[in-house]
């Protein structure tokens, strides 16, 4: 680790109304694993997009191996030796693995040679892949392998990874880290973006911390605690969630042998899901994205009806009821997709309250909308949940992700549900807002409501849930009390009962040797 | 060979000619849709190609220049569509419908002076002794060059989509334009090119109608062939080989019903005229229903607007 591979100085990029990067500078040594830390909107993504040539900086200079570096487009970046694995995978579901890899290369060899090289490289790095499979049929972890192998085939000097572990099980994270360490030992530098502070402490040699588009510090992550890192990101301290004592009461929601065909082309089917939710309980449902989370929320909320006698709400059959009928009986939900599913982007916050609020709140009069009441309810949500916005007349799309999420959760919580189901309540939300959302869910349960939290963030589930189930390929495991549950056990639950993940893990050491 | 008053050799030979306009237009639309753009303006591009090709051929006296003119006019219409939908991000469905209406109106206006004129004839390709082979000679080796060109184009499009790097990029853009953009491909340029190619083939198909198939110019002479081309692409599950089957089926039934009329069968003319449209759609619906991948074969980004904002 001598010398400098990438040196960035005074990089600035402004968008209308916001300076995404303001005089950012740092450097990365060959073989270094360097973390970029920062909350949402701190400018991490813009920064790496400039390094990868997707965005042109307004000012500032970059140097790569001592030479000026101004990539006009990703092609130029790849030619120089910079590769990137994207946060939202840049893959094509209807194409096979080899075709996907070929699309990410400048001069791909003929398909047959490429397939052989994919096999060879993917095994050498412990990421076995079959080049002929359709990407749409792969799991999230396997899809990421495709992205990584695509980068590795080009022999990069610098590998940029944007939130690579957000969709992986703990075991898959372990495999990924082994691969990254091997790469680093071979001299490839890695620029690693993540929210997950423990991972950064385990993996990274150095870190640059961004806040509001500026570099506010750098550190060696191993020497700091996760809490210190979080406070450097936020620029202040924030409250820890109080768990409080809860005693589960009578069952409020019972699901029996619920099956559902896939809702989309590559989506999973739900298979014989059973669960019981008690009053005052928070049930955490973990799982890697695309294992049936959306489908489960859709059937429980009433968007998709299920077979008779599969959903029983407060002792009454509710399988055939639509969302509004379920709302009337006390079951509310907040889907994962904030813009477009939980809220209409072009409508004001006031209008958005009407979407779910008219059943349980007196927001209509004789069939007409009572705008005054709707506005008052919107203002109440904004106040109670500290939504940062000029007022309820603002369109939903104008809010940042975290603020809109607080608004969406607040809208449901303030309707005093008996059962609340949320999917990914803090996805892409900064640490402070996430803490307040979690606190609201805990408080709701303490008041006697049953809450189901579907999330990919295991730390979050460990923090707030009483019981934990894993969703894998549309099957839900039996619940386990969170207390005393280790991350390893959870990882195995997330990988399914068939023991597939364990088998893969046993193969890894040989493949790495 | 005569079966039930119908000469089968003539029928098959006619089938290839009757299918060619739809085959050309459908092949072009296949490429456009594979890039992720739904262009409902095929009918409009065809009819503009028909009138432009006719005008160019009559004015210059050269059918080859006529076909070139038809293809250029179709491509120009497609470029207009591409400008509106790809650069100005207008709604693809509405723009496509508007393109058809615009094409029908424009062609009627431009075509007025050409009504009742005869175009210069296009000769058959001289195959020499090959065309004297009994039956096969008349079926396979007695056509004009555009029929062979259309078949070559289907094969070329099939090969390009399946084997070439350009085809892979085209499919990638149609599957996931955001990912393609992130990898550094020029989504809008690819779609512009695909649309222009689609427009050129639709224009060529239109010119074939007015220069060879009919051959004269009448207002609204495409008579829904563009819509059939669109339907064929969907029910062919976006595959070049099945587009060929669909188009020849349509052409075959068209040729058959003409022969039935000529042979004096007592079937109402309206039913016969309707038959190619109805039967083509029924057969293709059944085929795509049997083949359960029908809906899944659609390019995932079909009809979605792309803007490189994130």
- How high is the pLDDT of residue A328? 92
Q: Given an 8 Å threshold on Cβ–Cβ distance, is A75 in contact with B169?
A: no
d(CA B220, CA B112): 12
Nearest C-alpha of chain B: how many angstroms from A168? 20
Q: Compute the nearest-CA separation of A477 from chain B (Å).
A: 31
Which residues from B are below 8 Å from A89, CB to CB?
A: 179
Nearest CB to A92 within list B175, B295, B296:
B175
Q: Are A97 and A129 in contact (CB under 8 A)?
A: yes
Contacts A99 to B, Cβ<8 Å: 168, 172
Q: What is the pLDDT of residues A362-399, one digit of tens each?
A: 888 888 999 999 999 999 999 998 888 888 998 888 88
Residue A10 lies in a domain: yes
ipTM above 0.85, yes or no: no
* CB within 8 Å: B172 and A265: no
What DSSP line would sit under A66-78, residue for residue?
Answer: TEE---SSHHHHH
Q: Are residue A71 and residue A41 in the same domain, yes or no?
A: yes
pLDDT confidence of residue A503: 37
Determine what percent of chain B falls in helix, strand and coil, rounding each to the nearest 5.
Answer: 75, 0, 25
The model's pLDDT over A5-28, given as tens digits with 9 standing for 90+, comes to 999 999 998 887 678 888 899 999
Two structure tokens written together for A43: 């400018």
Instruction: Give the chain B residue whose CA is nearest to the CA of A84.
Output: B183
* Subunit contact B171:A108, Cβ cutoff 8 A: no
Number of domains in chain A: 2
Quote the pLDDT of residue A88: 66
User: Nearest C-alpha of chain B: how many angstroms from A440?
Assistant: 32
> Chain B partners of A265 at a C-beta cutoff of 8 Å?
295-296
Q: Is residue A512 domain-resident?
A: no
Question: Chain B: residue nearest A103 by CA?
Answer: B169
For residue B175, give the chain A residue with the closest CA. Answer: A92
| A184 and A211 share one domain | yes
- Tell whether A297 is covered by a domain: yes
User: Which of A146, A95, A104 has the alpha carbon at shortest distance from B162?
Assistant: A95
Do residues A175 and A217 both lie within one domain? yes
pLDDT band for position A200 (cuts 50, 70, 90): confident
CA dist., res. B171 & res. B157, Å (int): 12
Give the Cα separation of B123 and A369 in Å (integer).
Answer: 72
- CB < 8 Å to B168, chain A: 95, 99, 102-103
Q: Which of the following CATH numbers is that of domain B2-297: 1.10.600, 1.10.3470, 1.20.140, 2.60.200?
A: 1.10.3470
Answer yes or no: do A230 and A257 share one domain.
no
Q: Tell me if A164 is assigned to some domain.
A: yes
Q: Give every strand in the sheet of A59-64, ordered side by side.
A: A18-28, A6-15, A59-64, A67-68
Q: Say how many CA atoms lie within 13 Å of A447 toward its Cβ.
A: 13
* Judgement on whether residues A221 and A347 belong to the same structural domain of the protein: no
Q: Could A92 and B182 be called an inter-chain contact, meaning their C-beta atoms sit closer than 8 Å?
A: no
Question: Are A465 and A373 found together in one domain?
Answer: yes
Q: Are A276 and A222 contained in the same domain? A: no
Q: Give contacts of A16 with chain B, Cβ < 8 Å.
A: none
Question: How many angstroms separate the CA of residue B190 from the nearest CA in chain A?
Answer: 14
Point out which residues pair with A14 in neighbouring strands.
Answer: A19
Residue B70 sits at the vertex; the CA angle it makes with B68 and B71, to the nearest 5 degrees, is: 65
In angstroms, the separation between the Cα of residue B198 and the nearest Cα of chain A is 23
Q: Domain check: are A203 and A268 in the same one?
A: no
pLDDT band of A160, cuts 50, 70, 90: very high
Give chain B positions within 8 Å (CB) of A108.
165
- What the block records as the tokens of A273 is 């899901």
Instruction: Please give the residue of chain B at the shortest CA–CA distance from A53.
Output: B184
A1, part of any domain: no
Residues A150 and A293 in one domain: no
Query: Which residue of A53, A92, A104 is in closest CB contact with B176?
Result: A92
Residue A432, token pair as written in the block: 């402070």
The most confident of the ranges A150-159, A503-512, B281-290 is A150-159
Q: Considering only CB atoms, which chain B residues are within 8 Å of A88?
A: 178
Per-residue pLDDT tens digits for A83-107? 988 766 678 988 999 999 998 887 8
Please give the Cα distance from B24 to B145 (Å, whole number).
13
pLDDT score, position A511: 39
Q: Which helix (H) or strand (E) holds A503?
A: helix A500-512
**How many CB atoms are closer than 10 A to CB A125?**
20
Residues in chain A closer than 8 A to B178 (CB atoms): 88, 90
Q: Is the pLDDT of residue A505 over 60?
A: no
Tell me what pLDDT residue A371 has: 92
Cβ contact A453:A284 at 8 Å: yes
CATH number for position A180: 3.40.50.300
Whether residues A319 and A434 share a domain: the answer is yes
Tell whether A197 and A273 lie within a shared domain: no
Q: Which of A74, A93, A103 sits opposite B300 (nearest CB)?
A: A93
Query: Comparing C-alpha atoms, which of B15, B256, B9 is closest to residue B135?
Result: B9
> In B, which residues are within 8 Å of A144 by CB distance?
none
Q: How confident is the model at residue A1 (pLDDT cuts 50, 70, 90)?
A: very low
CB B117 within 8 A of CB B141: no
CA separation for the pair B90, B77 (Å, rounded):
15
Q: Where are the beta strands (DSSP E) in A212-336?
A: 214-219, 251-260, 270-278, 282-286, 311-313, 316-317, 331-334
Among the partner residues A73, A75, A91, nearest to B179 by beta-carbon distance: A91
Report if residue A205 sits inside a domain.
yes
Give the nearest chain A residue to B293 (CA atoms).
Answer: A265
Contact A92 B178 (CB under 8 A): no
Pairs across A and B, CB distance < 8 A = 53
Does A241 fall in a domain? no
**Rounded CA gap, B207 and B56, in Å?**
10
| Residue count of chain A | 513
Domain final residue, candidates A200, A234, A268: A234
Measured in residues, chain B has a length of 310
Give dist(CA B147, CA A308) in Å, integer: 59
Q: Is B168–A89 a contact, with Cβ atoms under 8 angstroms apart?
A: no
Q: How confident is the model at residue A292, as a pLDDT?
A: 87
Predicted pLDDT of residue B310: 45
Q: Residue A372: its pLDDT value, please? A: 92
Q: Report the pLDDT value the prediction gives residue B193, as an integer from 0 to 100.
A: 97
Pick A43 or B212 by higher pLDDT: B212
β-pairing, A467-472 with A480-481?
antiparallel
Listed residues A185, A203, A234: the one ending a domain: A234
Residues of B in contact with A340 (CB under 8 A): none
**In angstroms, what is the C-alpha Rg of chain A?**
24
Which residue among A199, A234, A269 closes a domain?
Answer: A234
Choose the closest CB to B296 out of A54, A108, A265.
A265
User: How do residues A122-143 score in pLDDT, each as one tens digit?
Assistant: 888 888 889 999 888 887 778 8
Q: Do A95 and B175 touch (CB under 8 A)?
A: yes
pLDDT at residue B60, rounded to an integer: 94
Identify all chain A residues contacting B179, using CB atoms and an 8 Å cutoff: 86, 89-92
* Terminal-residue alpha carbon distance, chain B: 65
**Residues from B in contact with A at Cβ < 8 Å:** 165, 168-169, 171-172, 175-176, 178-180, 182-185, 295-296, 299-300
Same-domain check for residues A192 and A279: no
In B, which residues are within 8 Å of A92 by CB distance? 171-172, 175-176, 179-180
Contacts of A102 in chain B (CB under 8 A): 165, 168
> What is the Cα–Cα distance from A356 to A396, expressed in whole angstroms?
14
Chain B: nearest CA to A74, how far in angstroms? Answer: 5
Which among A236, A237, A234 has a CA at the least distance from the CA of A212?
A234
Res. A407 pLDDT band, cuts 50 70 90: very high
Give the one of A74, A99, A265 whose C-beta lies nearest to B184's C-beta: A74
Strand blocks (E) in A137-281: 158-162, 189-193, 206-211, 214-219, 251-260, 270-278
Distance from CA of A45 to the nearest CA of B (A): 10
Name beta bridge partners: A284: A453, A468
Residue A507 lies in a domain: no
The residue segments making up the domain with residue A138 are 6-234
- The alpha-carbon gap from B89 to the nearest alpha carbon of chain A, in Å, equals 18
Count of CB atoms situated within 10 Å of the CB of A173: 20
Positions of chain B with pLDDT under 70? 291-296, 309-310
Query: Hey, are the CB atoms on A95 and B172 less than 8 Å from each other?
Result: yes
Query: Which residues of chain A are at the B interface, by a Cβ-Cβ cutoff of 8 Å?
Result: 53-54, 73-75, 78, 86, 88-95, 99, 102-104, 108, 265
Q: Contact A230/A221 with Cβ under 8 angstroms? A: no
Percent of chain A with pLDDT over 90: 29
Closest in A73, A88, A92 to B172, CB measured:
A92
Q: What is the pTM of this model?
A: 0.72
* Tokens describing residue A443: 């408080």
Q: Does the pLDDT at position A110 exceed 80?
A: yes
Q: How many whole angstroms separate alpha carbon A456 and alpha carbon A464?
A: 13
**Are A75 and B184 an interchain contact pair (Cβ–Cβ within 8 Å)?**
yes
Cβ within 8 Å, pair B183-A103: yes
What's the pLDDT tens digit per position in A225-262? 877 887 887 776 666 666 666 778 899 999 999 998 88
Beta carbons within 8 Å of A16's beta carbon, 6+ residues apart: none
pLDDT reading at A509 higher than 50: no
Which of A92, A102, A108 is nearest residue B179 as measured by Cβ atoms? A92
Query: Which of A90, A95, A99 lies closest to B183 in CB terms?
Result: A90
* Closest alpha carbon within chain A to B172: A92
Which residue did the predictor score with more confidence, B36 or A41? B36
What pLDDT, on a 0 to 100 scale, did the predictor assign at position B24?
Answer: 97
CA of A92 vs chain B CAs: smallest distance (Å): 6
- Give A-chain residues touching B184 at CB under 8 angstroms: 53-54, 73-75, 78
Instruction: Assign A343 to helix, strand or coil.
Output: strand
Please tell me the predicted confidence (pLDDT) of residue A176. Answer: 87
């Amino acid at each position: 680790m001598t010398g400098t591979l990438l040196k960035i100085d005074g990089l600035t990029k402004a968008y209308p109304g916001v300076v995404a990067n303001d005089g950012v500078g740092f450097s990365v040594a060959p073989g270094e694993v360097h973390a970029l830390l920062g909350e949402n909107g701190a400018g991490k993504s813009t920064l790496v997009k400039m390094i990868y040539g997707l965005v042109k900086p307004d000012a500032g200079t970059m140097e790569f191996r001592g030479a000026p570096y101004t990539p006009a487009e990703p092609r130029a970046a790849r030619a120089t030796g910079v590769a990137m694995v994207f946060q939202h995978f840049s893959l094509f579901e209807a194409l096979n693995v080899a075709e996907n890899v070929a699309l990410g290369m400048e001069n791909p060899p003929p398909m047959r040679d490429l397939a052989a090289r994919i096999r060879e490289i993917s095994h050498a790095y412990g990421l076995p892949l079959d080049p002929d499979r359709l990407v749409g049929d792969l799991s999230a972890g396997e899809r990421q392998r495709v992205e990584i192998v695509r980068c590795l085939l080009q022999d990069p000097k610098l590998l940029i990874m944007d939130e690579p572990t957000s969709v992986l099980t703990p075991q898959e994270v372990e495999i990924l880290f082994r691969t990254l360490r091997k790469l680093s030992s071979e001299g490839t530098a890695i620029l690693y973006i993540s929210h997950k502070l423990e991972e950064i402490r385990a993996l990274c040699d150095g870190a640059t911390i961004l806040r509001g588009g500026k570099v506010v510090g750098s550190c060696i992550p191993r020497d700091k605690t996760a809490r210190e890192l979080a406070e450097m990101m936020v620029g202040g301290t924030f409250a820890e969630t109080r768990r409080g004592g809860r005693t589960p009461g009578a069952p409020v929601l019972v699901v029996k042998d619920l099956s559902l065909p896939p809702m989309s082309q590559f989506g999973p089917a739900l298979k014989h899901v059973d669960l019981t939710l008690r009053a005052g309980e928070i049930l955490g449902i973990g799982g890697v994205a695309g294992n049936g989370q959306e489908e489960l929320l859709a059937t429980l909320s009433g968007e998709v009806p299920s077979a008779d006698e599969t959903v029983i709400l407060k002792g009454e059959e509710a399988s055939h009821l639509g969302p509004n009928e379920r709302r009337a009986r006390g079951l509310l939900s907040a889907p994962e997709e904030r813009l477009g599913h939980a809220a209409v982007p072009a409508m004001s916050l006031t209008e958005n309250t009407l979407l779910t609020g008219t059943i349980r709140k007196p927001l209509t009069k004789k069939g007409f909308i009572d705008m005054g009441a709707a506005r008052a309810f919107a203002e109440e949500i904004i106040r109670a949940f500290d939504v940062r916005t000029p007022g309820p007349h603002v369109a939903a799309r104008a809010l940042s992700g975290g603020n809109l999420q607080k608004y969406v959760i607040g809208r449901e919580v303030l309707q005093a549900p008996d059962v609340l189901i949320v999917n990914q309540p803090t996805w892409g939300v900064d640490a402070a807002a996430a803490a307040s959302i979690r606190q609201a869910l805990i408080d709701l349960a303490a008041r006697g409501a049953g809450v189901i939290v579907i999330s990919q963030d295991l730390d979050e589930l460990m923090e707030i849930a009483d019981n934990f189930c894993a969703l894998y390929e549309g099957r839900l495991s039996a619940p386990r009390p969170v207390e005393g549950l280790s991350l390893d056990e959870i990882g195995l639950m997330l990988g399914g009962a068939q023991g597939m993940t364990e088998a893969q893990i046993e193969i890894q050491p040989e493949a790495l040797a | 060979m005569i079966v039930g008053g119908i000469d089968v050799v003539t029928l098959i030979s006619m089938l290839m000619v009757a299918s060619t306009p739809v085959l050309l237009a459908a092949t072009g639309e296949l490429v456009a849709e594979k890039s992720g753009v739904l262009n409902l303006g095929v009918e409009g591009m065809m009819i503009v190609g028909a009138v432009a090709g006719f005008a160019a051929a009559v004015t210059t006296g050269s059918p080859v220049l006529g076909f070139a003119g038809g293809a250029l006019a179709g491509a120009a219409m497609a470029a207009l569509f591409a400008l509106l939908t790809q650069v100005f991000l207008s709604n693809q469905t509405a723009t496509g419908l508007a393109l058809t209406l615009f094409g029908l109106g424009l062609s009627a206006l431009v075509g007025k002076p050409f009504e009742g004129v005869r175009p210069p004839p296009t000769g058959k390709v001289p195959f020499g002794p090959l065309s004297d082979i009994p039956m096969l000679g008349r079926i396979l080796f007695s056509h004009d060059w555009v029929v062979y060109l259309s078949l070559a184009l289907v094969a070329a499009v099939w090969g390009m989509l399946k084997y070439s790097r350009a085809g892979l990029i085209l499919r990638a853009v149609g599957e996931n334009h955001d990912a393609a953009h992130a990898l550094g491909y020029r989504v809008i340029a690819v779609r512009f090119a695909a649309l222009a190619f689609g427009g050129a083939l639709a224009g060529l198909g239109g010119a074939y109608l007015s220069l060879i198939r009919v051959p004269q110019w009448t207002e609204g002479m495409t008579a829904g062939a563009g819509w059939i081309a669109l339907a064929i692409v969907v029910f062919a599950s976006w595959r070049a080989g099945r587009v060929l089957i669909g188009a020849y089926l349509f052409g075959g039934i068209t040729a058959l019903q003409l022969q039935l009329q000529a042979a004096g069968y007592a079937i109402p003319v309206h039913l016969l005229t309707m038959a190619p449209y109805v039967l083509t759609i029924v057969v293709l619906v059944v085929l795509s229903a049997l083949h359960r991948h029908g809906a899944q074969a659609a390019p995932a980004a079909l009809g979605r607007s792309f803007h490189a904002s994130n």
